[in-house]
Structure 1
C-alpha cells in the first residue's frame, strides 16, 4: 500500500524566545528536509516554509515568538511522495510497509503491518492479527529478513522475548513452567 504523503520530520519544543523550534528529521540528510518542497501537516491543510539551522533547529516562516512556536510543538511534517527521490534497490520508505501481510518463514500469516514507530530505541512494526490483537516486532534485518513490496508481504522472525498473538504455547517454548 503506497502512501501519497511521507512523514519527513517533526517540530520539537521551542528554542529560545524568537520563534525557533527544535526539529527532528527523518530524512537521510537532515538539512535536506526543506528541499523537498512544501512541508505540510498530516491533513495537508497547513503549509510551512522552514530554514534549517545548525544543531537541529528550525526557523519557520511567520513564527516570530516562543508562544507561536509552542503551538507547533509535536506537529509532524509531510511532503508529497512525488517530491522524494525513488528508493534505491533493496530500500523503501517506511510508509510502504503499511498494509503488508506479515508472514512467518513458513508462510503462516501473522497479520498486517498497521504502523511503523520509533520512540528512540529503534524502529518497530506493529502487526494486527485477524482477531484485532497487536504485536510489536523490532524492525531489524534479523526480525524482518525479507520485505517484498511487489508481493505485498514481509517475513517476520520474532525474537524469543516477543510473543506474537495467535502463536501456540508450543511455538513459544516451555517458558511457563
Structure 2
C-alpha cells in the first residue's frame, strides 16, 4: 500500500506476538490504553515503508493491549512486526475537547513564565508514573516542567505560546 500523505501521529508500537493465530501485543500511548483500538486503520512501518493495516479485533490484556490485524494469520508473521511503530492519520482523530490538547499540537510552542521570561520551545512531552512532563528546550538547556494544572497557566495555540508558573533558575 502507498504511504498516506497526511500527517501521522504515533499512538503505540507492536511489542511482540500473542498466541499462535497472528495476534500482536501492543504498547499503547493512548489514555486509556484501549483507545488505540478505536483508531483504524493503523499505519505501520515495515520493510522500509509505511503501510495501512486494518484492526480486526482487540482487547486489554494485562497492562497492555492485544490486537488482530488483517493479513497477519500466524505467530511467525506476528513476530516479524516486533517493535514496529503504530501511527494513525492525524485527521482521523476526533477534535480535542475544550481545554484538552493533543501533545503534537503543543510541540514547537514558546514557553514563557508568568513574568514573560522565555524558557524555551516545547520539544516534546512524555508520561511518568506521576504525571506528564513538558520538555522545553532553549539552545543546549532543557527544562522539564510537570504538565499539571498547578504549573500550566495558559495554553494559547493561536499565539503559539504556553504560560507556566516556573522560574528561570528551577
Query: TM > 0.5 between the two?
Result: yes
- 1:126 to 1:71, Cα distance in 2 relative to 1, 3 A: farther
Distance 1:44 1:138 in 2: 36
Distance 1:135 1:44 in 2: 35
Query: 2:99: which partner in 1?
Result: 90
TM-score (normalizing by structure 2): 0.76
Instruction: Please state if 1:73 is matched with 2:82.
Output: yes
- Shift, 1:8, TM fit: 2.5
Instruction: Please state if 1:64 is matched with 2:94.
Output: no
Q: Is the 8 A contact 1:31 1:52 kept in 2?
A: no
Q: Is the 8 A contact 2:40 2:55 kept in 1?
A: no
- 1:28 to 1:59, Cα distance in 2 relative to 1, 3 A: same
Distance 1:72 1:64 in 2: 12
Give 3-state SS (helix, strand or coil) of 2:115's partner.
Answer: coil
Match of 2:15 among 12, 15, 19: 12
Q: Is the 8 A contact 2:20 2:75 kept in 1?
A: yes
Map Cα deviations across residues 37-66 of structure 1 (whole Å, 9 max, x no partner): 421136972222123323221012222333
CA RMSD of aligned residues (A): 2.7
Q: Is the 8 A contact 1:34 1:49 kept in 2?
A: no
Give 3-state SS (helix, strand or coil) of 2:99's partner.
Answer: coil
Q: Displaced runs of 4+ in structure 1, greater than 6 A?
A: none
Distance 2:115 2:121 in 1: 16
TM-score (normalizing by structure 1): 0.74
Decide which moves more: 32-41 or 107-116. Answer: 32-41
Match of 1:99 among 103, 108, 124: 108
